[in-house]
Amino acid sequence: MSKITQSAKGEECTLRHDGCRWGSGTVVFSHLDHQYAGKGMGIKATKGMDWGFYACDKCHAAYARHEVDASDVLRAVVLTQQRLIAKGLIGVK
């Protein structure tokens, strides 16, 4: 498990889909999948990279069921990237 994946512990959900449990302690790092990156089913679009967002169990499930708009996913990715920069886990070059 990467430091970025581990960084989700104690975070709030950045996706905030319907029924979000943003501060419930169920937040994980959700990797971008084929739906938003044009890859095949079951293949993470970002193999070897940690591109994704923090998601509670409810939002992660909605994302897996393809119930989330791409614009909401993009917003969540940007918010998560900002948090990762603040934590020093990724850098801006």
| pLDDT tens digits, 18-70 | 999 988 899 999 998 755 555 444 555 445 567 899 999 999 999 999 999 99
For residue 51, give the nearest of 66, 71, 36 by alpha carbon: 36
- Provide CB contacts within 8 A for 79, sequence distance 6+: 14, 53
Q: Are 51 and 45 in contact (CB under 8 A)?
A: yes
Parallel, antiparallel, or unpaired for β 28-31 and 52-55?
Answer: antiparallel
Q: What is the mean pLDDT of residues 72-87?
A: 96
